[in-house]
């Protein structure tokens, strides 16, 4: 591809494989300024001034070869600095609530690119001019607007400091005789003096502006944490700049691909491992048009070029997605990449509209980290709040002998228990929302989220258009298998009593291997047994119940709803380690099911049966996220078998599947990586909705990935 700089990408990729990602310096400067300004009567403006001060002091860093800048400096800190950071950050943590979540969203990149921060500041000035100074509510709004404006000034200061640093490096490079590097630094300086302050004029300016502001909002005032804002739909918001530059003859496809790869690599320099951060491409516009353009394919191709844990790329498929795009995505997966995850745009848009979004709003969503769906540019969603351990909830209500004379009695008891637990959790999350509204604010982020500026309301106080809380129900596949086992062995065959089963659970089945053998011989979820009372039938029954229960509840602020999800991030491993043996035959300490597909190793009838089971219930209401993992061996999933895999994926999507993610590896490679991790530093695998480096996983998580069923096609 003409203009593609493969050597540059390989060098930057190598540097990003072991990044130093540390925001302590920012928080130290922020907290020092914030606590020094304790007399400021305006909480929001106190935050804004501290943000601005931190941006003015934070160390800036530009490395040779970087074309897109904006990341934490990778310098080593002294012991004195680390201790100072620790004290400042601890003070902040004790001063403000740690409840809730941040950053599971994408901002309004179109607003940023068309207006720039200076244009957004002018927009704020217009809102301020319309306020009535005699109205107490207007005074409150003006306080917010002033804070937001101050934060934007801080971003402009930070960008100018990057420009100054690039100019200094250009002079040093010139003195060293490296004219080419000096020119690159000068171009970076020129771009950083232009954006994000002013509207982007070119493709590169647009990429840099978006990357820089995403970096700037990735530090949360008063809540030191690692954030992971997504880049939304860049094959949409970058397209006008790409087309204009191509028409003007100032950009080749190779140069565009190089900039996209640089953007993707930069995510790995600002987001720590173990999270999930990325973007989505494809999907359908409000008028029904399928998004398929050169940028769609370039962002997919970046997965092959970058080969790092980030970005987490979601490919949104429709019933009429071009064959070329789907084949490109599957070809990438066949080479052992853990991305892209394939999302069903038709099902997701259906679910979003069910929850009240317009056609336009429903067409612009993001997998906000793993598979959680949030509306782009207008939401403040607390995802996976909380995670619920479904097998543990069942174990908590297992009756004594005689207490539940029929299986229907047991199910009624269990559903009543779940209903109470969902209500309790909803009350706790609601409390967290109100606490955050009282003690936190984020005026900078609010500049890029509708309808905060329009209403003069900070995002923490409910300024976003959609304020959902989405609990995630983990281990539903284990639960379904357990319910089937109980119904069969206790109520139908009378082969075991509850007392005996509880004793077996306590001993991790060591005292009753016969019971364990009976359980393991029973059909499991994933074997295409879809009648009521089968494992598949229990998943359908439980998922329907969970969706109905969540729909009963409302949470604070505009469009505040409780919306269910069924994915796990790493919680299937965390829950598994703390959960004893369960009635489905799972032993103590082993991870729960890794998503909403069958539990590990139980897909005995092959991938087609697994797909049919996984789509035997309605996914559309689980907008909080559904993850279905499938694992294929490299020997059978390759370029020659793409037709068969494509048929399988299309079947999954046509039957209403929400999302499917595919691991293509082999047991031998994974086993070698456990023994020789130094040789497999960049081996990326798909977990429960996100990807991570295999050698950095916990031992139990590594074992869980290895034991997943390997399918043939």
pLDDT digits over 571-597, tens only? Answer: 999 999 999 999 999 999 999 998 888
- Whether 415 and 545 have beta carbons less than 8 Å apart is answered as yes
- Whether 373 and 622 have beta carbons less than 8 Å apart is answered as no
191-201 average pLDDT score: 98
- Comparing 27-31, 68-72, 197-201, 258-262, the range with the smallest average pLDDT is 27-31
Asked if the model's pLDDT at residue 711 lies above 60, the reply is no
pLDDT, residue 417, reads: 98
599-624 average pLDDT score: 89
Distance between CA atoms of 425 and 550, rounded to whole angstroms? Answer: 11
Q: Bridge-partner residues for 693, per DSSP?
A: 684
613-634 average pLDDT score: 91
Reference 69, options 209, 167, 172; nearest CA is 209
Structure letter (DSSP) for residue 459: G
230-235 average pLDDT score: 98
- Which of helix, strand or coil describes residue 148? helix
Q: Return the ∠ at Cα 12 (arms to 217 and 177), rounded to 5°.
A: 110
pLDDT, residue 204, reads: 98
pLDDT, residue 141, reads: 98
Asked if the model's pLDDT at residue 94 lies above 60, the reply is no
pLDDT, residue 391, reads: 98
Confidence grade of residue 390 (pLDDT, cut at 50, 70, 90): very high
pLDDT, residue 59, reads: 93
Asked if the model's pLDDT at residue 604 lies above 80, the reply is no
pLDDT, residue 686, reads: 77
pLDDT tens column, 328-342: 999 999 888 989 999
110-131 average pLDDT score: 98
Beta-carbon count within 10 A of 578 CB:
10
Distance between CA atoms of 493 and 490, rounded to whole angstroms? Answer: 6
The secondary structure element, H or E, covering residue 495 is none
Asked if the model's pLDDT at residue 362 lies above 60, the reply is yes
Indicate if the alpha-carbon torsion angle 236, 237, 239, 240 is positive or negative. positive
Percent of the chain with pLDDT strictly greater than 90: 74
Please indicate whether residue 316 or residue 531 has the higher confidence score (pLDDT): 316
Asked if the model's pLDDT at residue 177 lies above 90, the reply is yes
Asked if the model's pLDDT at residue 97 lies above 80, the reply is no
Angle between helix axes 294-306 and 239-248 (nearest 10 degrees) is 100
Angle between helix axes 642-654 and 323-334 (nearest 10 degrees) is 120
228-241 average pLDDT score: 96
Confidence grade of residue 709 (pLDDT, cut at 50, 70, 90): low
3-state SS of 155-199 is: HHHHHHHHHHHHHHHHHHHHHCCCHHHHHHHHHHHHHHHHCCCCC
- Comparing 177-181, 267-271, 480-484, 692-696, the range with the smallest average pLDDT is 692-696
Distance between CA atoms of 485 and 522, rounded to whole angstroms? Answer: 7
Confidence grade of residue 284 (pLDDT, cut at 50, 70, 90): very high
Reference 106, options 314, 294, 321; nearest CA is 314
pLDDT tens column, 402-450: 999 999 999 999 999 999 999 999 999 999 999 999 988 999 999 999 9
Average pLDDT across the chain, whole number:
93
Asked if the model's pLDDT at residue 643 lies above 90, the reply is no
pLDDT, residue 24, reads: 85
Confidence grade of residue 100 (pLDDT, cut at 50, 70, 90): confident
Distance between CA atoms of 413 and 415, rounded to whole angstroms? Answer: 6
The pTM score is 0.94
Asked if the model's pLDDT at residue 253 lies above 80, the reply is yes
pLDDT, residue 697, reads: 86
Percent of the chain with pLDDT strictly greater than 70: 96
- Which of helix, strand or coil describes residue 603? coil
273-299 average pLDDT score: 95
Beta-carbon count within 10 A of 539 CB:
27
Confidence grade of residue 713 (pLDDT, cut at 50, 70, 90): low
pLDDT tens column, 142-167: 999 999 999 999 999 999 999 999 99
pLDDT, residue 85, reads: 76
Q: Which residue carries 């001063």 as its tokens?
A: 95
pLDDT, residue 500, reads: 98
pLDDT, residue 77, reads: 78
Asked if the model's pLDDT at residue 634 lies above 90, the reply is no
Distance between CA atoms of 604 and 622, rounded to whole angstroms? Answer: 26
Asked if the model's pLDDT at residue 48 lies above 70, the reply is yes
- Whether 525 and 612 have beta carbons less than 8 Å apart is answered as no
- Comparing 35-44, 137-146, 223-232, 325-334, the range with the smallest average pLDDT is 223-232
The secondary structure element, H or E, covering residue 282 is strand 278-282
pLDDT, residue 142, reads: 98
pLDDT tens column, 656-671: 999 998 888 778 888 8
pLDDT, residue 530, reads: 74
- Whether 627 and 657 have beta carbons less than 8 Å apart is answered as no
Please report, for the chain, the start and end positions of each structural domain, with discontinuous segments joined by +: 22-220, 382-626
Asked if the model's pLDDT at residue 83 lies above 60, the reply is yes
46 Cβ contact list (under 8 Å, min separation 6): 34, 37, 38, 40
Asked if the model's pLDDT at residue 95 lies above 70, the reply is no
267-272 average pLDDT score: 92
- Which of helix, strand or coil describes residue 362? helix
333-355 average pLDDT score: 95
The secondary structure element, H or E, covering residue 100 is none
Confidence grade of residue 531 (pLDDT, cut at 50, 70, 90): confident
Distance between CA atoms of 229 and 369, rounded to whole angstroms? Answer: 8
Q: Which two tokens stand for residue 405?
A: 């004379």
- Report the DSSP pairing between strands 278-282 and 312-317: parallel
pLDDT, residue 140, reads: 97
């Amino acid at each position: 591809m003409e203009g593609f700089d493969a050597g540059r990408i390989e060098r930057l990729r190598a540097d990003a494989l072991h990044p130093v990602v540390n925001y302590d310096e920012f928080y130290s400067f922020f907290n020092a300024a914030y606590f020094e300004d304790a007399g400021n009567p305006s909480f929001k403006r106190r935050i804004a001034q501290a943000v601005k001060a931190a941006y003015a002091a934070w160390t800036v860093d530009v490395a040779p070869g970087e074309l897109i800048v904006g990341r934490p400096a990778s310098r080593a800190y002294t012991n004195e600095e680390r201790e100072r950071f620790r004290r400042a950050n601890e003070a902040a943590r004790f001063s403000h609530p740690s409840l809730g979540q941040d950053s599971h969203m994408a901002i309004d990149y179109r607003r940023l690119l068309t207006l720039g921060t200076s244009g957004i500041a002018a927009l704020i000035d217009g809102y301020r001019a319309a306020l009535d100074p005699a109205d107490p509510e207007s005074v409150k709004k003006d306080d917010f607007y002033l804070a937001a404006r101050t934060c934007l000034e801080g971003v402009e200061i930070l960008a100018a400091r990057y420009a100054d640093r690039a100019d200094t490096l250009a002079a040093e490079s010139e003195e060293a005789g490296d004219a080419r590097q000096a020119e690159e630094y000068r171009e970076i300086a020129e771009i950083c003096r232009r954006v994000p302050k002013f509207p982007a004029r070119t493709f590169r300016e647009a990429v840099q502006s978006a990357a820089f502001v995403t970096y700037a909002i990735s530090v949360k005032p008063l809540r030191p944490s690692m954030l992971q804002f997504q880049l939304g739909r860049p094959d949409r918001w970058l397209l006008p700049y790409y087309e204009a530059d191509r028409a003007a003859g100032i950009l080749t496809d190779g140069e565009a691909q190089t900039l996209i790869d640089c953007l993707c690599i930069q995510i790995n320099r600002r987001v720590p491992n173990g999270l999930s951060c990325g973007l989505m491409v494809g999907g359908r516009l409000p008028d029904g048009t399928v998004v398929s353009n050169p940028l769609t394919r370039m962002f997919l191709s970046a997965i092959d070029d970058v080969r790092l844990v980030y970005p987490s790329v979601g490919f949104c498929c429709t019933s009429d997605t071009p064959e070329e795009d789907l084949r490109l995505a599957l070809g990438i997966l066949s080479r052992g990449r853990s991305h892209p995850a394939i999302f069903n745009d038709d099902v997701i848009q259906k679910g979003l509209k069910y929850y009240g979004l317009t056609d336009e709003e429903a067409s612009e969503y993001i997998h906000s980290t793993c598979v959680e769906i949030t509306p782009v540019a207008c939401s403040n969603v607390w995802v996976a709040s909380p995670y619920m351990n479904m097998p543990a909830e069942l174990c908590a209500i297992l009756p004594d002998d005689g207490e539940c004379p029929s299986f229907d009695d047991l199910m009624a008891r269990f559903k009543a228990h779940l209903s109470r637990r969902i209500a309790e959790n909803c009350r706790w999350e609601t409390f967290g929302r109100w606490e955050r509204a009282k003690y936190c604010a984020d005026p900078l982020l609010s500049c890029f989220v509708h309808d905060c500026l329009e209403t003069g309301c900070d995002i923490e106080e409910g300024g976003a258009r959609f304020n959902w809380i989405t609990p995630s129900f983990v281990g539903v596949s284990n639960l379904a298998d357990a319910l089937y086992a109980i119904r069969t062995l206790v109520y139908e065959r009378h082969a075991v009593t509850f007392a005996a089963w509880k004793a077996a659970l306590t001993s991790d089945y060591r005292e009753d291997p016969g019971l364990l053998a009976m359980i393991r011989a029973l059909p499991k979820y994933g074997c295409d047994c879809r009648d009521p009372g089968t494992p598949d039938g229990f998943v359908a029954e439980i998922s329907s119940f969970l969706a109905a229960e969540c729909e009963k509840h409302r949470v604070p602020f505009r469009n505040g709803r409780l919306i269910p999800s069924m994915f796990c991030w790493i919680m299937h491993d965390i829950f598994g380690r703390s959960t004893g043996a369960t009635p489905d035959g799972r032993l103590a300490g082993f991870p729960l099911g890794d998503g909403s597909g069958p539990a590990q190793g139980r897909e005995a009838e092959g991938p087609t049966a697994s797909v049919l089971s996984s789509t035997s219930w309605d996914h559309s209401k689980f907008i909080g996220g559904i993850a279905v993992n499938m694992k294929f061996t490299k020997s059978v999933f390759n370029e020659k078998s793409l037709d068969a895999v494509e048929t399988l994926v299309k079947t999954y999507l046509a039957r209403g599947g929400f999302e499917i993610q595919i691991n293509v590896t082999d047991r031998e490679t994974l086993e070698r990586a456990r023994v020789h991790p130094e040789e497999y530093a960049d081996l990326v695998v798909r977990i429960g909705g996100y990807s991570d480096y295999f050698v950095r996983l916990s031992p139990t998580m590594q074992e869980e990935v290895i034991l997943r069923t390997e399918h043939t096609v």
